[in-house]
């Protein structure tokens, strides 16, 4: 992957002049073409070696251009691009996972705070001009409660940092055994740990990992039954991490005290989905507040990968066979 000579780079990202200059300098000089719209993208890609693209690009557009050495997609979840022809091809495809980690962690805190403060009940009471105090004396704040984070990428680590600032007990589950800051107890695949100890000890279980063949349907009826009575399940990863029918049953029978979901198997969530009416559930439409420097944070990832690319090193956030979903199609 070592570079010989200037590269031809195309991008449809909203890059400032300063950001363009940083990219050119990082390559040691390159021919950078900034597109004003998607209509010119196919022709531009035909002439390019490298591309930095918005999430709207179609998988088949990349498959049809195997001459591309590297394509960066400004998106976090890369399962759509884990197509066998990409995984087995010569084009390296990377993403922007981690650029929105702070606001995703805030989203998780919002779910947790809404649960412990019974926000849905408070809003109903306010709309009814009702001074509602029944049951609130038995609620606990987040202070001293435990949160189990499944997936300790940049978002998981940011959740751990924020939870620790609230004096929560932080448990984590990761593939590797590397120590993670702000995590009190780490369970991992490398040591042969399963999910059971984390599920059994956590007041809140948070899913913030990628969707792969290994993680699809990660949380079903057996896992929900292992969770602490009265626990709350939060998912900001991908909808197919959870078996939704089993989740609804666990909420209805009282095994779980609540759930916060931002992602779903089918999006938008259909109006007739029983999730809308499940007990003690808070639904957000796969929308997290933006960050003022979102593009800048994506550019930082791109710049890091340019340095790796020029040195012939593996790229950060690259789509790998472990990201593959066997049902992925064009």
Task: Give the sign of the dihedral formed by CA 237, CA 242, CA 248, CA 254.
Answer: negative
d(CA 97, CA 77): 7
Burial-class residue 270 by CB neighbours within 10 Å (0-12, 13-18, 19+): exposed
Q: Check if 244 is active-site.
A: no
Which candidate, 194, 256, 193, places its Cα nearest to that of 224? 256
Which candidate, 96, 92, 59, places its Cα nearest to that of 74? 96
- Does residue 268 have a cis bond before it (omega within 30 degrees)? yes
Q: Looking at 200, 225, 245, 267, which residue is catalytic?
A: 267
Q: Looking at 65, 80, 286, 308, which residue is catalytic?
A: 286
Cβ burial 159-196 (10 Å sphere, 16+ → b, else e): bbbbbbebebbbbbbbeeeeebebbeebbbeeeeeebe
The alpha carbon of residue 315 and the mean position of all alpha carbons in its chain are separated, in whole angstroms, by 18
Q: Check if 267 is active-site.
A: yes
Q: Check if 175 is active-site.
A: no
Q: Where are the beta strands (DSSP E) in the chain?
A: 7-11, 30-34, 50-53, 70-73, 92-95, 146-150, 169-174, 185-188, 204-207, 231-235, 256-261, 281-283
Half-sphere exposure of residue 156: CA atoms within 13 angstroms, side-chain side: 25
Q: How many CB atoms lie within 10 A of CB 86?
A: 22
Q: Which residues are catalytic?
A: 238, 267, 286
């Amino acid at each position: 992957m070592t570079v010989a000579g200037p590269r031809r780079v195309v991008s449809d990202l909203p890059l400032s002049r300063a950001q363009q200059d940083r990219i050119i300098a990082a390559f040691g000089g390159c021919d950078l073409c900034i597109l004003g719209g998607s209509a010119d993208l196919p022709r531009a890609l035909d002439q390019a070696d490298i591309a930095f693209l918005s999430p709207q690009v179609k998988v088949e557009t990349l498959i049809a251009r195997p001459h591309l050495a590297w394509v960066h997609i400004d998106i976090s979840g890369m399962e759509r691009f884990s197509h066998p022809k990409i995984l087995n091809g010569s084009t390296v495809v990377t993403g922007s996972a981690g650029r929105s980690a702070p606001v995703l962690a805030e989203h998780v805190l919002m779910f947790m705070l809404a649960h412990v403060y019974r926000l849905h009940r408070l809003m109903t009471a306010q709309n009814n001009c009702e001074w509602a105090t029944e049951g609130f004396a038995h609620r606990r704040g987040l202070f001293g409660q435990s949160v189990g984070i499944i997936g300790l990428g940049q978002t998981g680590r940011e959740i751990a940092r924020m939870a620790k600032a609230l004096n929560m007990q932080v448990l984590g589950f990761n593939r590797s055994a590397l120590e993670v800051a702000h995590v009190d107890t780490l369970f991992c695949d490398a040591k042969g740990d399963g999910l059971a100890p984390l599920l059994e000890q956590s007041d809140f279980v948070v899913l913030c990992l990628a969707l792969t063949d290994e993680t699809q349907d990660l949380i079903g009826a057996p896992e929900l039954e292992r969770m602490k009575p009265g626990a709350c399940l939060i998912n900001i990863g991908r909808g197919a991490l959870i078996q939704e029918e089993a989740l609804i049953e666990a909420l209805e029978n009282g095994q779980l005290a609540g759930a916060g979901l931002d992602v779903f198997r089918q999006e938008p969530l259909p109006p007739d989905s029983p999730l809308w009416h499940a007990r003690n559930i808070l639904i957000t439409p796969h929308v997290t507040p933006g960050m003022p420097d979102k593009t800048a944070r994506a550019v930082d990832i791109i710049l890091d990968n340019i340095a790796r690319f020029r040195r012939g090193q593996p790229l950060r956030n690259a789509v790998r066979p472990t990201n593959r979903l066997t049902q992925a199609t064009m």
